[in-house]
C-alpha cells in the first residue's frame, strides 16, 4: 500500500485515550508481553520502537532491560508529548524521543540492533518503504519484531482497507504470508510467526508477531548462488553491539 495515510491530527486525538486501561488491556498489553519476551532472549543493546505511541513499550524496555538504549519514534506530536511525560523519571541516557516518518527514518544506517513495532505497521502508508528503512537502520544480524493484526486472506485485507479509506483513516493489515514475503524481499530472514492471544477482538482477527533478522550481505554474497545460508548470522540470539 502506497498512499496518503491518516492525518497527524488523527493520532494526536487518539493519544488522548490511548493510555486508558481498557484500551491498553484489549489492544496493546498482550502484544507488549510477547515482544518483551523476545527482547529478553536476544539481549539487544540499541532498540528502536517504531510507531511508539505514548511510549508504553518504550519505557518498559528501558526500565526492564537496563542494558538497552531505546529510541521511541512516532509520527504524532501528541503521542510523543505523552511519551516524554511518561519517561520523566528515567535516567536521561536510557530513552530518547524522535518525531519521524516510518518511510524516511531520521537515523543513520546500522544505528540499531533491534527494531520493534507493535500495532502500528498497518498505519504506514508505504509499507515496503517502511520495511526498507528498518533494514537500513539495522546492523547486520539485527532483529525486527513486527506485531499487528494479520488478515485471514487478501480479500479481507483489501475489503478492510477500502472501508478504512471511506472513513478517512486508511490502514492495511497484510496477511501473514504477505508480511513474510515483504520482509524477505527487503533482505530479511524470517525466523517465525506466531499468533498472540487477546480478547475480545483478537478471537476474530488475532495479532501475529513476526520475527526476522537482517542478513549479513557480505557473507550471503559469498555463499553459493548468493543465498542466505549462514544459519549463525540468522539465528544467534545475541545482537547487542553498543
What's residue 11's pLDDT? 55
Residue closest to 43 by CA, chosen among 146, 91, 135, 114: 114
> What are the boundaries of each domain within the chain?
8-215
Q: What is the CATH number of domain 8-215?
A: 3.40.50.150
164: part of which helix (H) or strand (E)?
A: helix 154-166
* Max Cα distance, the chain (Å): 53
Q: What is the 3-state secondary structure (H, E, C) of 53-120?
A: CCCHHHHHHHHHCCCCEEEEEECCHHHHHHHHHHCCCCCCCCEEEEECECCECCCCCCCEEEEEEECC
Give this prediction's pTM: 0.81
Lay out the sheet containing 95-99: strands in order across.
Answer: 95-99, 69-74, 46-50, 112-118, 138-149, 207-214, 188-195
10-residue mean pLDDT series, the chain (242 residues): 57 61 66 94 93 94 91 94 88 85 97 96 94 98 95 89 80 94 98 85 77 76 39 46 42
Amino acid at each position: 500500500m502506497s498512499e496518503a495515510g491518516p492525518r497527524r491530527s488523527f493520532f494526536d486525538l487518539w493519544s488522548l485515550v490511548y493510555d486508558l486501561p481498557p484500551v491498553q488491556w484489549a489492544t496493546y498489553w498482550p502484544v507488549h508481553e510477547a515482544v518483551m519476551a523476545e527482547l529478553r532472549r536476544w539481549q539487544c543493546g540499541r532498540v528502536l520502537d517504531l510507531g511508539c505511541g505514548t511510549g508504553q513499550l518504550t519505557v518498559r524496555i528501558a526500565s526492564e532491560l537496563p542494558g538497552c538504549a531505546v529510541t521511541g519514534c512516532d509520527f504524532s506530536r501528541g503521542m510523543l508529548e505523552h511519551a516524554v511525560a511518561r519517561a520523566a523519571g528515567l535516567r536521561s541516557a536510557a530513552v530518547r524521543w524522535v518525531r519521524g516518518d516510518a518511510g524516511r527514518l531520521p537515523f543513520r544506517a546500522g544505528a540499531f540492533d533491534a527494531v520493534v513495532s507493535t500495532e502500528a505497521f498497518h498505519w504506514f502508508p508505504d509499507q515496503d518503504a517502511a520495511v526498507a528503512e528498518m533494514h537500513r537502520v539495522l546492523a547486520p544480524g539485527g532483529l525486527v519484531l513486527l506485531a499487528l493484526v494479520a488478515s485471514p486472506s487478501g480479500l479481507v485485507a483489501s475489503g478492510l482497507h477500502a472501508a478504512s479509506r471511506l472513513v478517512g483513516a486508511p490502514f492495511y493489515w497484510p496477511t501473514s504470508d504477505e508480511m513474510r514475503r515483504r520482509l524477505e524481499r527487503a533482505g530479511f530472514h524470517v525466523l517465525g510467526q506466531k499468533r498472540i492471544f487477546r480478547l475480545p477482538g483478537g478471537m476474530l482477527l488475532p495479532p501475529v508477531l513476526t520475527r526476522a533478522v537482517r542478513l549479513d550481505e557480505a557473507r550471503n554474497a559469498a555463499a553459493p548462488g548468493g543465498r542466505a545460508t549462514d544459519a549463525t548470522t540468522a539465528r544467534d540470539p545475541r545482537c547487542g553491539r553498543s
